[in-house]
Amino acid sequence: MSDAKAIRYAVVGGGWISQAAFMPAVAQTGNSTITALVTGDPEKAASLGERYRLTTFSYDRYAEALASGLFDAVYLSLPNGMHREFAVPALEAGIHVLLEKPMATSVAECEAIIAAAERGNARLMLAYRLHFEPGTLDAIERVRTGAIGEPLVFTATFGQHVATENHRAHQGY
Ligand SMILES: NC(=O)c1ccc[n+]([C@@H]2O[C@H](COP(=O)([O-])OP(=O)(O)OC[C@H]3O[C@@H](n4cnc5c(N)ncnc54)[C@H](OP(=O)(O)O)[C@@H]3O)[C@@H](O)[C@H]2O)c1
């Protein structure tokens, strides 16, 4: 698809998942491009802005970014507690939002985001990527066809190391 028809994204939050997964992958989609970056880090603005040829904005210029006409959608990968604050004005402005999971930190926040999408007639999608991965789809098919026999339900625990200075260790979510 030519750039003229591509969905133009602004990346909001230049953290790990943005830099390691989303930004390098967009070129492989065939239907999307990145045109802007909203970041609080001037060094990222310079380095990522140059690498991906982006117009960059700081968070205090978010309203200006949303009004710029530079993008059709935002990819929002801020800490979970900031999702509502940044998703709602984008959706109200009619800008689609691909929102990293988890959607927010409470049901009320989730409902506010959904209501903003309805008000702005904008599309809201959560980045629950596992639903679409080939391994997941294959496993679903194997369960449906009976290829693995009778499926059993079990529980497991998943954990990961978190540096003490990371925001996850300080905000209660
Ligand atoms: N779908 C998945 O598989 C998957 C995997 C990992 C994470 N996630 C989700 O993606 C989101 C971001 O996760 P991440 O691992 O990329 O986190 P991260 O590396 O900590 O990045 C978060 C970014 O948010 C920006 N930010 C703005 N205000 C901040 C504040 N007060 N404290 C910390 N960061 C702030 C920073 O970007 P700037 O410096 O550019 O401002 C920071 O780099 C979360 O919602 C997470 O749950 C999803």
Q: What pLDDT is recorded for position 4?
A: 63
Q: How confident is the model at residue 168 (pLDDT cuts 50, 70, 90)?
A: confident
Q: What pLDDT is recorded for position 132?
A: 86
> Going by CA atoms, what residue is nearest to atom 7 of ligand 1?
17
Residues in the chain: 173
Q: How far is the CA of 18 from the centre of ligand 1 (A)?
A: 8
- Is residue 132 within 8 A of residue 108, CB to CB? The reply is no
Domains and CATH numbers, the chain: 3-130 (3.40.50.720), 133-169 (no CATH)
What are the start-end ranges of the H helices in the chain?
16-17, 23-25, 42-52, 62-67, 83-92, 107-120, 134-145
Q: What pLDDT is recorded for position 171?
A: 76
Q: Which of 11, 17, 41 most suits a substitution to test ligand 1, by most atoms within 8 Å of the C-beta? A: 17
Q: How far is the CA of 74 from the centre of ligand 1 (A)?
A: 14
- Is residue 142 within 8 A of residue 148, CB to CB? The reply is yes
Q: How far is the CA of 148 from the centre of ligand 1 (A)?
A: 37
Name the DSSP letter for residue 18: I
Per-residue pLDDT at 173 exceeds 80 = no
With CA atoms as reference, report the closest residue to 102 among 139, 121, 137, 127: 127
Q: Which of 58, 74, 77 most suits a substitution to test ligand 1, by most atoms within 8 Å of the C-beta? A: 77
Structure tokens at 108: 């009320």
Phi, psi of 80 (to 5 degrees): -55, -40
Strands 124-126 vs 55-57: parallel, antiparallel or unpaired? unpaired
Mean pLDDT value across residues 133-146: 94
Mean pLDDT value across residues 145-172: 88
- pLDDT for 108-135, tens place per residue? 999 999 999 999 999 999 999 888 899 9
Q: How far is the CA of 1 from the centre of ligand 1 (A)?
A: 30
Tell me the C-alpha to C-alpha distance, in Å, between residue 103 and each of 29, 87, 112, 173. 23, 10, 11, 12
Per-residue pLDDT at 167 exceeds 90 = no
- Is residue 73 within 8 A of residue 9, CB to CB? The reply is yes
- pLDDT for 20-77, tens place per residue? 999 999 999 999 999 999 999 999 999 999 999 999 999 999 999 999 999 999 999 9
